[in-house]
Structure 1
């Protein structure tokens, strides 16, 4: 089962569905797959009783206008609208809530909308992200969505509810409530991550995939037998979770060297002004001009221990050596600058430094060539090369930590999520290679097309009634319903 033909044979049933309806389902011997007109008409418009039908759900691969224009907030280039909306062709009932996951670097928003200018039934889940520093732009978009609730989803603006998770759900709680004048329900971050990931794994075709240079995107079919697994969530920092079943998880490790590290250091070293600019630069860089490789040391592969000549031996390992070479070059040039006036100024500055040193013996002497040496050194490293080198350094570190944790806990399936990845080929290839190399092919790295929205989707799902979307999960306490409600499942399937 794959592609647009995949069907999650289920419809959302109100948590307060009457016993006659349930009896009719049981007597039929199979789950009902359509939402009846009577059910739609009787919908109580609030998040706790919204009905969503995910039968036939699929990711929109072709560029289309989202159900709600991405620039409603007027935030310009400060927000990023994902084109990978999830189409829900069979959903016809009201959705009166939106969900936001506010992290240290990015705020991720998920909302449902009808198809704009279409007579077809159904709608789609829309995905949009903002830099957290511009949280007011995100709140402004939520306000526009609130104003358009009647046109988008059939509910009144006052009926909108905001599901929030992440640290910002607490930090910006009052600001959201005051601006929108609606309820804000805060949900546990780790719990939402797991619920969102479970949903993507089990329900959405062409969502989960493996990555390698020879097979860049090999999709895994949705599966119900998913436990146990490890989630490596890479946001500003990194959290590693062992997931044994619905709501059964523990944080087993992590590292502070994550997306925030890359963003912060590259902000100092390059002119890039956004995370996407940094990733774009990294895509065009050559880390071999910055990193010391095995081939730089041995002149060839180190086959005895399985290291190729292109393997990174030391991240940024060439920088000091090349800086020293630049200093020697500046000395050989006599520290001269173009033009007699500039040369005279340099000599005067040098004399002043010597005089200052003589007056104050503890003063640090600055070599007259230091400025020129720095200029020569920096000219040898492009922003693109630096970006790629640092991306590899952080990704390799995360990959090895993830492998070690998977070894300790005996897990072979490792899912990488979080906004750090952003579908970037070099990042995915590095993480995947690290897992494959250290495990000798015994463990597999998995990625998701909506990797940055696990928490937001989990929060969106968290306020749903029973049985949203698990195939054949209309029986009590099974499938996604059990994961959302927290009830255990037999055999964790």
Structure 2
């Protein structure tokens, strides 16, 4: 189990009141976010009924009058294959209390936690059995688009470009946001054309995504988790494994078509003629080549779909990116190549 952001320090901090909790249960990873309120009245002796009552009062707020909460968002992730670790975390932190109750049901009857992703359906019975809670399922595409629209409109410096190791924030005009292409890179990749609030359609995608990188990488390098594999790729040199234009043209460019000698002609292409076995290659070089292959593919398909629909903006999201400089740079190069 791996905590992100401030969640890793939760056990060392004074106990605060958990008032909101939501899950995204994907094919490879479970992403969890919860909100802790802190104030002078926070104490360690909240019982379940008291916390539930206060949480329900928050959910009942309507109209223009909304509570202003002081606190902090915490994030955590778990491998979906290790979902029991997630359940134990929820139990130990009493995070299930961050759910809400159905207004027509007794407090002791039905407790719900907001959840999205395919795992919200697949593991619904397991959550009920282990934690005594029901998962209130939300459509993952609607959650993705609604969240993206909100962040792009409301959060300063939410969007940025990244090329040649240079990060540049983009100023978003809420009146000139739509349409855009949203590329969400999870286990697989979904490409969504967003035309406005609540107006979107999935127009394309690819099965070669983060799950491909993780799965193939695990088979080829023996890395045990996603971050270990990604860190390994940072140390590698894909040119040891990939066949470049220069390898075909004797070290020169293919200038007629604007292909430099360092352009990848064939991912893993050198493995054909090197007369080597997998053990003869360094795992960091293999993982670097794999990352380049998948990122280039995503970037190219994204660009072609933007061209197809006449879209001037592409926003990339998903755990595959998550601030990883080399991944972002590779995708940007793939888009700008064309």
Tell me if both proteins adopt one fold, taking TM over 0.5 as the criterion. yes
Does residue 237 (structure 1) correspond to residue 185 (structure 2)? The answer is: no
Distance (whole Å) between structure 2 residues aligned to residue 265 and residue 277 of structure 1? 13
Deviation at residue 302 of structure 1 after TM alignment:
2.1
Q: CA deviation at 1:253?
A: 0.7
Among 16, 19, 22, the alignment partner of 1:99 is 22
Equivalent of 1:114 in 32, 37, 47: 37
Give the whole-Å Cα distance in 2 for the aligned partners of 1:184 and 1:319: 47
TM-score (normalised: structure 2): 0.80
Give the TM-score normalised by structure 1.
Answer: 0.56
Distance between the aligned counterparts of 1:181 and 1:104, measured in 2? 23
The residue that corresponds to 1:218 in the other structure is: 168
Q: CA deviation at 1:80?
A: 3.2
Q: Does the CA contact (< 8 Å) of 1:294 and 1:310 recur in 2?
A: yes
Seen in structure 2, the aligned counterparts of structure 1 residues 146 and 435 have a Cα distance that, compared at 3 Å, is same
Can you give the 5+ residue segments of structure 2 that lack an aligned partner in the other structure?
A: 9-16, 43-68, 99-106
Of 273, 294, 297, 1:397 maps to: 297
Number of corresponding residues: 293
CA deviations on 1:322-372 (whole Å, 9 max, x unpaired) are 11xx5xxxxxxxxxxxxxxxxxxxxxxxxxxxxxxxxxxxxxxxxxxxxxx
How far 1:95 moved relative to its partner? Answer: 6.8
- Contiguous gaps of at least 5 residues in structure 1: 1-77, 86-93, 151-156, 327-373, 439-493
Residues 165 and 306 (structure 1), Cα distance of their counterparts in 2 relative to 1, 3 Å cut: same
Q: Describe the shift of the 1:114–1:222 C-alpha distance in structure 2 as closer, same or farther (beyond 3 A).
A: farther
State the partner residue of 1:418: 318
Q: How does 1:15-30 map to 2 (within 5 A)?
A: none
* Structure number with bigger Rg: 1
SS of residue paired to 1:206: coil
Corresponding residue for residue 433 of structure 1: 333
**CA deviation map 1:206-246 (0-9, x unaligned):** 3221101152x212235423211111111111111101011
- The equivalences for 1:346-365 within 5 A come to none
Are positions 1:132 and 2:80 aligned together? yes
- How far apart, in 1, do the equivalents of 2:38 and 2:261 lie? 53
Task: Say whether 1:297 aligns with 2:248.
Answer: yes
Q: Measured at CA, do residues 397 and 177 of structure 1 come closer, stay the same or move farther in structure 2, by a change above 3 Å?
A: same
**TM-fit CA distance, 1:427:** 1.2
- Cα distance change, pair 110–223 in 1 and its aligned pair in 2 (3 A): farther
Show the 5 A alignment for 1:21-170. 78-83=1-6, 96-115=19-38, 122-146=70-94, 161-170=112-121
Larger RCO: 1 or 2 (CA < 8 Å, sep 6+): 1
Deviation at 1:255, TM superposition (A): 0.9
1:135-183 deviation digits (Å, cap 9, x = unpaired): 1211222223436959xxxxxx979641000000000111112333234
Q: CA deviation at 1:297?
A: 1.5
Alpha-carbon distance between aligned partners in 2 of 1:263 and 1:162, rounded to the nearest angstrom:
29
In the alignment, is the contact (CA less than 8 A) between 2:111 and 2:132 conserved in 1? no
- Structure 1 residues 288 and 200: alpha-carbon distance in aligned structure 2, compared to 1, 3 A threshold: same
In structure 1, which of residues 189, 205, 212 is the aligned counterpart of residue 156 of structure 2? 205
C-alpha separation between the residues in 2 aligned to 1:174 and 1:194? 27
Determine the structure 2 residue equivalent to 1:180: 131
Determine the C-alpha separation between the residues in 1 that align with 2:274 and 2:40. Answer: 60
Cα-Cα RMSD? 2.5
Question: What SS does structure 2 have at the residue aligned with 1:253?
Answer: strand
Distance 1:84 1:416, change over 3 A: farther
